[in-house]
Amino acid sequence: DLSTTVAGIRLSTCIYNASGPRSGSAEALHKIAQSSAGAVLSKSATLLAQDGNPLPRTWQHTEASLNSEGLPNKGIDYYISDETISEILQSDSSKPYMVSLSGKTTADNITMLRKMVGNTKIAAIELNLACPNIIGKPVVGYDMEQMKDILDQVSQIPNLPPMGIKLPPYLDSVQFQQVATLINQYEWIQFVVSINTLGNATAVSVEAGMPYISSNDGFAGLSGPAVKYTALANVRKWRQMLRPNIDVVGVGGIVTGRDVLEFLLCGAAAVQVGTQHWSEGPKCFDRIVQELSDCMKELGHESVTSLVGTLQPW
Ligand code: DHB
């Protein structure tokens, strides 16, 4: 049984797309809906549509990818409209559709959230506190004051769909402690998604004598297999430190079904696939689901939910 729940929402399989690649249009999101993915998640929306940073803004290698896209998206009204949602889900309206938000300011985030009050077609909201690519803006998740401010303001909005927050990777135990203490105070936080890209990496072209990415002076978010170990550690820390009724959704460097199993053991109730979805396309969900099923059979595991957080200490 590969099904799971996140914030009480049933996912037919525990694998879905990360916000970002191939998630900006109803057409792309429909392809995810048609696959074995257990849910469909939009590109992070801003209040107004925008084109993002200048090109080239992505770079791909076998072990790692970089992007400094700068949140190109069609604006919140597109991602929450009845027309878009029915185009995405078409006949299968039982598949959960989730919307990612990444406002450029706290006020923008609050305005976007107010538009979604009472919208029952949105299964959940993923509030992105971790975009590293907006020039001149800090990663909210690294700024405790700014993070507390937005979490406080969200608390004032009644009747939102189930809410989760997307976090950046943390690397230090003091940071984990501070963030966990903060998150555990907010009843409305039903899940955390970890990790976003490892911010401000640089890939260098020796031939050109320049960074591969032009925007943001070549600083860009790092993703793909290179970040998997950091992601596993973050998922494991959150499962150990957060209230038991906060689900952890794991993301970072998943390529195979075996990778998914590693995240489940560390405490992920579900996982997202970003970079591999970008390079392989939506058929990656069918492949990874099959591989997870085969791998679980081989190891004698019957269900995803019975595996979550069962990593044993030495
Ligand atoms: C973008 C946003 C993110 O949250 C991220 O991790 C990477 C890139 C963006 O569109 O720039």
- Domain annotation covers residue 71: no
Share of the chain above pLDDT 70, in %: 100
Using CA atoms, how far residue 41 sits from 15, 172, 255, 271, in Å, is 11, 29, 18, 12
Sorting pLDDT into bands at 50, 70 and 90, what band is 305? very high
What are 35's strand-pairing partners? none
Report DSSP state, residue 300: T
Quote the CA–CA distance of 201 and 220 in Å, as a whole number. 5
Phi, psi of 127 (to 5 degrees): -85, 115
**Would you give the DSSP letter of residue 312?**
P
Ligand 1: lining residues by beta carbon, under 6 Å: 20, 44, 67-71, 102, 128, 130-133, 196-197, 221
Asked if residue 71 lies in contact with residue 48, where contact means CB atoms within 8 angstroms, the answer is no
The single-letter code of the amino acid at 80 is I
- The residue segments making up the domain with residue 181 are 4-48+80-199+224-299
Q: How confident is the model at residue 8 (pLDDT cuts 50, 70, 90)?
A: very high
CATH for 30: 3.20.20.70
Q: pTM to 2 decimals?
A: 0.98
213 assigned to some structural domain: no
Residue 206 belongs to some domain of the structure: no
The protein residue with its alpha carbon nearest to ligand 1, atom 10, reads: 71
- Residue 163 confidence (pLDDT) above 90: yes
Q: Which of 86, 83, 64, 67 is nearest to 22 (CA)?
A: 67
Average pLDDT of every residue of the chain: 97
Position 134 scores a pLDDT of 75
* Res. 133 pLDDT band, cuts 50 70 90: confident
Band the pLDDT of 22: cuts 50, 70, 90.
Answer: very high
Q: Is the peptide bond before 195 cis (omega within 30 degrees of 0)?
A: yes
DSSP 109-167: HHHHHHHTTT-TT--EEEEE-----STT---GGG-HHHHHHHHHHHHT--SPPPEEEEE
Strand partners, 59: 66
Note the pLDDT of residue 288. Answer: 98
Question: In this structure, which residue's CA is closest to atom 5 in ligand 1?
Answer: 131
The pLDDT score that the predictor gives to residue 123 is 98
Nearest atom of ligand 1 to the alpha carbon of 43: 10
* Per-residue model confidence (pLDDT) at position 108: 96
DSSP string, 270-290: EEEE-HHHHHH-THHHHHHHH
Q: Decide: 9 and 96 in contact? Cβ < 8 Å.
A: yes
Classify residue 61: in a domain, yes or no.
Answer: no
Tell me if residue 266 is catalytic. Answer: no
The answer to whether residue 289 sits within a structural domain is: yes
Q: 102, 221 in Cβ contact below 8 A?
A: no
Chain centroid, CA 228 distance in Å: 14
In a domain, 65, yes or no: no
- Per residue in 252-299, pLDDT (tens digit) is 999 999 999 999 999 999 999 999 999 999 999 999 999 999 999 999
- Give, for ligand 1, the residue of 19, 50, 131 to mutate: max count of ligand atoms closer than 8 Å to Cβ: 131
Q: Which value, in Å, is the radius of gyration of the alpha carbons in the chain?
A: 18
Q: Name the pLDDT band for 91 (thresholds 50, 70, 90).
A: confident
**Token pair 């069918």: residue:** 286
Asked if the structure places residue 12 within a domain, the reply is yes
The whole-angstrom separation of Cα 266 and Cα 81 is 36
Query: Which of 197, 214, 272 should be mutated for ligand 1, with most atoms under 8 A from CB?
Result: 197
Separation CA 99–CA 75 (nearest Å)? 11
Atom number of ligand 1 nearest to Cα 57:
11
Helical (H) or strand (E) element with 85: helix 82-89
Task: Provide the domain count of the chain.
Answer: 1
3-state DSSP assignment of residue 66: strand
* 170 within a domain of the structure (yes/no): yes
Query: Tokens at residue 130, please?
Result: 């971790």
Here the tokens at position 89 are 């889900």
> For residue 136, what pLDDT is reported?
74
